[in-house]
Amino acid sequence: MEKLYIIIPAYNEEANIENTIKEWYPIIKKHNGNGLSRLVVVNDGSTDHTWKILCQLEKQLPLLTALKKQNGGHGSTVLYGYRHAVDKGADYIFQTDADGQTNPDEFEAFWELRSKHDAIIGKRSVRGDGFSRKIIENTVCLLLRMIFGVKVPDANAPFRLMKSSLIKKYIKKLPRNYNLPNIMMTTYFSYYHENIAFREISFKPRQGGVNSINLRKIIKIGWEALGDFRKLKKEM
């Protein structure tokens, strides 16, 4: 049986986390890998009741693993989850977010493609989180094309199924707490011509709570990303 690890980073998601886990838990139960698959939620130093809720749910749900780390941002938390999955011997790693914007019903279509592709990545032609986010996404894709010469429809969608071996191959290229790992993973996969596919997904508005990434942070991350992209390109 194939061992699946679903990785969900969470920061101050007390309004969403219980519902998100209840939505995704049936997926890990179905693909339980003889009891070795896991739904892993990584708490990124939340200051609300996210961790308390996770600990309560972990006692009730045997395939749920709750991890916690010091606050370091979404990217470092995703990487923390990826490393955990690789270390635990996962065959496949799926990543999504805790804000309820993705639809678990769309997972099976990705899972069915796993024998044909080493990674299946969501693409969001329509986004429920606002036109500004679509502009940012398009800008990122343009930068990747200019700097790395790769053309991708969506670099950062938090809905991606990947072979663990592929993550293991490229994760060592990134700084340990790099803040945009999914963007660079998508870039590496495309640049080195890995066998990947993009598949349309739906993307809802945030289902509760407040997004911790505001315009000021987006500008700061974007400026840092430009420098990081150029540095990482030199290392390729």
Each residue's pLDDT tens digit, 112-161: 999 999 999 999 987 766 666 777 788 889 999 999 999 999 999 999 99
pLDDT of residue 205: 77
Cα–Cα dist 13/208, whole Å: 8
- Angular region, 100: left φ>0, alpha ψ -120 to 50, beta rest: left
pLDDT of residue 14: 96
Query: How far apart, in Å, are the Cα atoms of 97 and each of 23, 34, 60?
Result: 12, 25, 21
Count of Cβ atoms closer than 10 Å to residue 172 Cβ: 8
List the strands of the sheet with 159-163, edge to edge.
64-69, 38-44, 4-10, 92-96, 159-163, 119-123, 196-200
Residue 217 pLDDT > 70:
no
**Size of the chain in residues:** 236
pTM for the whole structure:
0.93
Non-local (6+) Cβ contacts of 120 within 8 A are 110, 113, 114, 160, 161, 162, 196, 197, 198, 199
Helix (H, G, I), strand (E, B) or coil at 93: strand
Domains present along the chain, CATH in parentheses? 4-234 (3.90.550.10)
Residue 61 pLDDT > 80:
yes
Nearest to 41 by CA among 119, 56, 179, 154: 56
Count of Cβ atoms closer than 10 Å to residue 236 Cβ: 10
- Give the tens place of pLDDT for each residue, 194-216: 999 999 999 887 666 555 555 56
β-strand 119-123 against 159-163: which pairing, if any?
A: antiparallel
